[in-house]
Homo-oligomer: A and B are copies of this chain.
Amino acid sequence: MAPEPVSFGKTAGSQEPEREERMTALLKVPPGYRAHDPESLRVYLAGVPAVAERLGGDPAAWRIEEVGDGNLNLVFKVRGPKAGAAVKQALPYLRLVGEGWPLPLERAHYEHMALTHEARHAPGLTPEIYHYDATLALIAMELLEPHIIMRHGMIAGTVYPKFAEDLSTFAARTLFFTSDLALSAAEKKAMIAAFAGNTELCKITEDLIFTEPYMVAERNRWTSPFLDPHAEAIREDGDLKVAVSRLKAKFMGLAEAMLHGDLHTGSIMLTVEDTRVIDPEFAFMGPMGFDTGAVIANLLINYFSQAGHEDGPGERDAYRRWVLEATAGFWNGFSAKFLKLWEKEATGDAYPAPLFASPEGRLRLAGERQAWMLRLFADTLGFAGAKMVRRILGLAHNIDLEKIADERVRASAEARALKLARDMMVNTAAYPSIEAVTAQAERLNAWEPKLGG
């Protein structure tokens, strides 16, 4: 799969002795691991019947190209006479500008485990897995063509009529069926244990999303000097720091369901007819609102970025409306589907049915389901805000904003997104519905922020 096209700033990682130690430990690869190139991959795949038979023909005739940027994972497209395959292999490091940042190969294990659960609960919405090799940290899967990364499509202004329906199905089903509402307590605890080792990737989230954007940190960057006053305001905002710290504590402590863990528009490949969620290497058992919030955050960022992508003022107004409709459609679809699953398929140990078996009990439980969904909505908005802030002030940005060449236009879009994000995190109760959020986004889109520089 194509890697998420994030941009990385200069980092100070190598100046921290602790990180140096971690690097040395993590760069040791297990016996049998080797990073493949197209030719060695050809030999390897020829010996894997599950892939070779699917590709068909003589392995020597397969067309193999490496399409990843080599920073995080190797990604190969392999084409045979019968079919194609995508092969993703983890590298033991993430190579940044001039520096190494180790990442454990075991993330392929968590990605494969998550893909397996997701495929069972949300069939047809992930790439089909053909083969997994733990030693090589390699997953061979369905080649998604002509799908593109959703973020690219949204920057180009493409409407995806099935997106809200498909992604709300994906989120509702993967979160519901891995929660205490569907699982027995023992099954749930087994999943918690199974994912508890994905600490390095969780730590990236903990540091880069919940901590560094709110302080002076060498890995941070932003559109300077234009955004300087807004970045500074965030760094001095005590209420916001408390809000993000509460979210961080929830991220670290609340094992509600199996999360994708990185559910932004760069983890979605789609066409106008077909939607697939890829790259769940950040998967772990965490708070549901982190996934639903990631979706909403990235849609809202794209909404604010449209000012930098239209040929003239108002040219993208219809697309803007679609983005906000998709935002509301995602949440409302998610909420309705999740509640329906809870009504019909609640086989888990939480809210046990026998407690609410009487007509009055059923009525009371229906009310509690609504209240529960409101609590999840509040979590969702908080996490969405945190996801927006990190993409503007932290290490990893996204191209919706980065591709805006005019830095004043970009900084204005970023300031609008920051203002909404901050409000969603601190004044969460002011947003009782997703329509309250999209309405506020529209108001803020007309706001002209004061820029620095």
A contact residues vs B (CB 8 Å cutoff): 180, 185-186, 188-190, 192-193, 196-197, 199-200, 202-203, 206, 211, 214-215, 236, 238-239, 241-242, 244-245, 248-249, 252-256, 349-352, 354-358, 360-361, 363-365, 367-368
Q: Does more than half of chain A's interface fall in helix, strand or loop, or is it mixed?
A: helix
Query: Complex formed: what's the CA distance from A199 to B186 in Å?
Result: 6
Query: Complex formed: what's the CA distance from A248 to B249 in Å?
Result: 20
**A196 contact from B190, B249, B352, Cβ within 8 A:** B190
Asked if A361 meets B238 with Cβ closer than 8 Å, knowing A193-B196, A197-B193, A211-B352, the reply is yes
Is B350 a contact of A248 with CB atoms below 8 Å?
yes
Is B239 a contact of A364 with CB atoms below 8 Å?
yes
**A360 contact from B238, B249, B256, Cβ within 8 A:** B238
Closest B residue to A348 by beta carbon equals B252
Is A249 a contact of B351 with CB atoms below 8 Å?
yes
Interface centre among A355, A361, A368 (most CB of B within 10 A): A355
Is A185 a contact of B364 with CB atoms below 8 Å?
no
Is A185 a contact of B199 with CB atoms below 8 Å?
yes
One complex includes copies of this chain to the number of 2
Shortest A63–chain B CB gap in Å is 42
Asked if A241 meets B361 with Cβ closer than 8 Å, knowing A196-B192, A196-B196, the reply is yes
Query: Complex formed: what's the CA distance from A79 to B360 in Å?
Result: 60
Interfacial chain B residues near A215, Cβ < 8 Å: 354-355, 357
**A214 contact from B236, B245, B355, Cβ within 8 A:** B355
Closest B residue to A284 by beta carbon equals B189
Is B245 a contact of A350 with CB atoms below 8 Å?
yes
Is A254 a contact of B253 with CB atoms below 8 Å?
yes
Shortest A175–chain B CB gap in Å is 12
14 A–B contacts from the bound complex (CB under 8 Å): A180-B253, A185-B202, A185-B203, A189-B197, A192-B255, A206-B349, A211-B352, A211-B355, A238-B360, A238-B363, A239-B364, A241-B361, A245-B352, A254-B255
